[in-house]
Structure 1
Amino acid sequence: MADARTTPEAKVSASRSVAFDLFRAVLTKRTPFDEALAAHDGLAKLPDRDRGFARLLVATALRRLGHVDRLVDGCLDKPLPAKALVVRDILRLAATELLILGVAPHAAVDSAVTLARSRGFEPFVKLTNAVLRRLDREGRGAILEMPALQALPDWLADGWRAAYGDATAEAIAAAGFVEPPLDISVKEDPEGWAGKLGATLLPTGTLRRGFDGRVEALPGFKEGAWWVQDMAAALPAKLLGPVAGKRVVDLCAAPGGKTAQLVAAGADVLAVDRAKPRLLRLERNLARLGLTAATRVADATEMKLESPVDAILLDAPCSSTGTIRRHPDVPWLKHPGDPAKLATLQDRLIANAVRMLAPGGVLVFCTCSLEPVEGPERVAAALAANPELRREPIRPDEVGGLTKLVTEQGDLRSRPDQLAALGGVDGFYACRLVRA
């Protein structure tokens, strides 16, 4: 039999090896987690249970990365050399197993040691073992005492404190630790599909059920009866009101959840996106659903229409900080200056949308950001720059009677710390504007 030191790969846990690859893809290659999952050939080859473990391990490590880094770094006498930063990632994942997922210490430590050896870091095996043994002894109590905001980059935590106050910012951060449920929008018969899917029908019309990682295997998916869409993301399209028979432009439309809503409601939709691959994805999604919309590859800051339209939905590119509970990579892929840069783009998008809007037409502007600069501040700027615009307040009955989601100004503002009894909600902002 060959020595384990000469063929260490034979001993490496397949699920942990895949998790390591995914984790590194996000943090070193800056690949969005969803894309990394889709691109990893080995992930699909794992048994369901191992595939679920790999995904959960990486998602949890990203959700709690600030906490884990503080604890790991506290066990190192000096920072690891640049050539051994791979070892730090191995420690991060193993610490997540030990301190958060509750994996047995011998399994987490032995697997990390084996992984370090298999990746060519034999000189750091003793250190890996020592750090994890110390974390097992001392880290469990320490991680429970850490404020939730310390799991995030400082720039993001500080921004939430400034925008929402310390207590609410802490609650938002804590909500991001929880694995979210699966939210579903249906073309028709929500009550019937709630029964078939074992889901709860939320007040807004969204269906909600537990997430087991096998969306494609659920009833109705192949038949195109429904699509995955967070409850908050499903609200902006409804704010356009009855759209049957109306021509509606959906700007920045991919991947197409809102387009699908509008088409299913009877609208004549033009879906616009500047990226052809993204628009092709939208077209594939609509084809599965049996829905049809006109599409156009165009820059929505400059495009022109043959004639003005009565309704425009603008889901503008943003920092996506409201979606962290579903996309835990967001804090680590974004930069402190991103919200301000994106705000400039949002201003340009709103300005051109106003130009394409007919008198009396409705524009719903929305972002999945918690940053005020990407929400109410953009609307204030738009109202100041366009005297012909006025805000039309949203009524609670338009959002399922959930009054907490409507601001004093009459805008939609959802936060991840809200609706905990229902399973939470992504952070979203939307405002309805009417052109005189």
Structure 2
Amino acid sequence: MAQRTEPAGLKLRLAAAQRLKAVLAYDHFTPLDAGDLADGRDRALANRLITTALRRHGQINDVLADLLEKGLPPRSGSFEAVLRLSLAQLIFLPDLGAHSALFLAVEAVKRDNKARHLSGLMNAVLRRAQANSARYGLMDNARLLPDPFLAGWTAAYGADAVAQFAQALIEGAPLDLTLRDEDADLIDALNAEPVLVDSVRLESRDRPVEALPGFAEGRWWVQDAASAIPARLMGLAPGQTVLDLCAAPGGKTAQLIKAGYKVTALDNDTGRLERLKQNMARLGYAPRIMEADAANYDPASPFDGVLLDAPCSATGTFRRHPEVLWSRNTRDIAGRVRLQQALLANAFRCLAPGGTLIYCVCSLEPAEGEDQVSWILDALPGLELWPIEPKDMAGLEQAVTDKGLVRTHPAMTPGTGNAGMDGFFVARFRRTR
């Protein structure tokens, strides 16, 4: 019997649906790699479908509400993931054509025992979507952001900035790198533009990160321009000791070593620490690396500086991780606030009198940023705010608040580079006793 030939494009559609289904169940999104799809063109298309479905998640929610009067059928396997991918293609990726969206969607659910009985519904829903695709394509970009974030961010940052957040979500994030050494020739070879201090930006690239000039030689590391800010504010003398809490994958560790400090990098995740070790080896850096819990680590002697990039909601990274907008809620954020406070209390215990504490989060939520400063000053006597001044942030003075804190967001332009950076919060403290 002749072996059945699968329709062209079905394999990538099934792989994309599997990955999107996991993200819809609150897994962290990681792009498909060569182990998932060997063909580079298939892999690129599958990742494009997934990321478009994630970036347009809010608008697709509205489309689903319009198309499915009774809502999504329960216990339906991959049906929702396949449908979202196909709606993303029909409405927002018209260059890919409508026929493949319909045909491959039906074929994909037929391959799923839990969804095959819904193949007729899939076909009917997508045909209705195709007929209304022009109308759906005109939806307000405000629908890209969940209502709680939309309201909170409008209050915190203003309606104009939030409109730019929505556009930044659609466009995604460029690739920012931190250079190990100043190197104009390397910047040219990368076809990059200087952004802020030693951060450079690649607006587009045609190769994997590992194939870019200077990677193998350890001449740079991947780090958003906003993420590169906190370590620069430590303000200690070369040779002093710094503890980098929650250090993996090591971008800030590398910066601290580059600044001349004696660095201890600590994390409690074995897998992430292995990645940190690999990154340090590539860069030629040798921090002291420890696997321990940052909430109860008790050093033999205190450090001159502590940098705590605390676990957070990560809402400031939505340009590259759009799933955080839909996988976070107020209860989740409240739990992270409590964890941050436990970590801050121990960071204080690890700090020598006269030492510097940097607290930062890649979050746009005031509860994880500005509100934590009030908690620190009330709960940790002996810490005083060491205000960050505009001169400390040359090229990004607008990020310094009137209280001496740093707040960045995706509508902010860093230095002379193009607009856009992650949402980040940074506060600096001194221990007085």
TM-score (norm 2): 0.92
1:396 maps onto 2:393 in alignment = no
On the 8 A contact 1:180/1:423 being kept in 2, the answer is: no
Question: CA separation in 1, counterparts of 2:207 and 2:82?
Answer: 24
1:60-91: CA deviation from partner (whole Å, max 9, x where unpaired): 21111111121123112322421335222211
In the alignment, which of 52, 66, 70 is matched to residue 60 of structure 1?
52
In the alignment, which of 15, 26, 34 is matched to residue 18 of structure 1?
15
What's 1:169 paired with? 162
1:29-68: CA deviation from partner (whole Å, max 9, x where unpaired): x32112x646x8323x12x222112112111211111111
In the alignment, which of 286, 305, 309 is matched to residue 311 of structure 1?
305
| Count of aligned pairs between the two proteins | 427
On the 8 A contact 1:8/1:117 being kept in 2, the answer is: no
1:156 maps onto 2:149 in alignment = yes
What's 2:193 paired with? 200
Within a 5 Å distance, the mapping from 1:107-186 to structure 2 comes to 107-120=100-113, 121-148=115-142, 150-186=143-179
On the 8 A contact 1:314/1:366 being kept in 2, the answer is: yes
What's 2:256 paired with? 262
Within a 5 Å distance, the mapping from 1:29-44 to structure 2 comes to 30-34=26-30, 37=32, 41-43=35-37
On the 8 A contact 1:318/1:374 being kept in 2, the answer is: yes
Change (3 A) 1:136 1:415: same
On the 8 A contact 1:250/1:314 being kept in 2, the answer is: yes
Comparing 355-364 with 252-261, greater Cα deviation is found at 355-364
CA positional deviation for 1:10: 4.5
Question: CA separation in 2, counterparts of 1:128 and 1:213?
Answer: 36
Question: CA separation in 2, counterparts of 1:339 and 1:270?
Answer: 28
On the 8 A contact 1:71/1:139 being kept in 2, the answer is: no
SS at match of 1:176: helix
1:286 maps onto 2:284 in alignment = no
Question: CA separation in 2, counterparts of 1:52 and 1:249?
Answer: 39
1:93 maps onto 2:93 in alignment = no
What's 2:426 paired with? 430
Change (3 A) 1:125 1:2: farther
Question: CA separation in 1, counterparts of 2:243 and 2:183?
Answer: 26
On the 8 A contact 2:312/2:362 being kept in 1, the answer is: yes
Comparing 409-418 with 240-249, greater Cα deviation is found at 240-249
Question: CA separation in 1, counterparts of 2:355 and 2:314?
Answer: 27
TM-score (norm 1): 0.91
1:245-277: CA deviation from partner (whole Å, max 9, x where unpaired): 111110110111100111122211000112222
On the 8 A contact 1:200/1:207 being kept in 2, the answer is: yes
1:419 maps onto 2:413 in alignment = yes
1:382-432: CA deviation from partner (whole Å, max 9, x where unpaired): 012234222222233333321221111111100012228614100000011
On the 8 A contact 1:67/1:143 being kept in 2, the answer is: no
Comparing 383-392 with 314-323, greater Cα deviation is found at 383-392
CA positional deviation for 1:180: 1.2
What's 1:339 paired with? 333
**1:293 counterpart letter in structure 2:** P
What's 1:249 paired with? 243
SS at match of 2:156: helix
On the 8 A contact 2:409/2:424 being kept in 1, the answer is: yes
**1:164 counterpart letter in structure 2:** Y
CA positional deviation for 1:11: 4.7
On the 8 A contact 1:248/1:267 being kept in 2, the answer is: yes
CA positional deviation for 1:344: 1.1
Change (3 A) 1:118 1:208: same
On the 8 A contact 1:274/1:300 being kept in 2, the answer is: yes
Taking only aligned residues, the RMSD between alpha carbons, in angstroms, comes to: 2.2
**1:398 counterpart letter in structure 2:** D
What's 1:277 paired with? 271
Change (3 A) 1:273 1:101: same
CA positional deviation for 1:12: 4.7
More helix by share: 1
Question: CA separation in 1, counterparts of 2:68 and 2:207?
Answer: 36
**1:14 counterpart letter in structure 2:** K
**1:202 counterpart letter in structure 2:** V
CA positional deviation for 1:113: 2.1
**1:82 counterpart letter in structure 2:** P
What's 2:347 paired with? 353
On the 8 A contact 1:64/1:177 being kept in 2, the answer is: yes
**2:420 counterpart letter in structure 1:** G
Question: CA separation in 1, counterparts of 2:159 and 2:419?
Answer: 23
In the alignment, which of 220, 225, 229 is matched to residue 226 of structure 1?
220
Question: CA separation in 2, counterparts of 1:258 and 1:164?
Answer: 27
On the 8 A contact 1:63/1:151 being kept in 2, the answer is: yes
On the 8 A contact 1:72/1:91 being kept in 2, the answer is: no
On the 8 A contact 1:243/1:262 being kept in 2, the answer is: no
Question: CA separation in 1, counterparts of 2:398 and 2:413?
Answer: 9
What's 1:70 paired with? 62
Comparing 383-392 with 284-293, greater Cα deviation is found at 383-392
Question: CA separation in 2, counterparts of 1:237 and 1:12?
Answer: 46
1:237 maps onto 2:216 in alignment = no
SS at match of 1:359: strand
Change (3 A) 1:212 1:242: farther
Question: What is the aligned-residue identity percentage?
Answer: 41
Question: CA separation in 2, counterparts of 1:153 and 1:86?
Answer: 24
Question: CA separation in 2, counterparts of 1:50 and 1:397?
Answer: 48
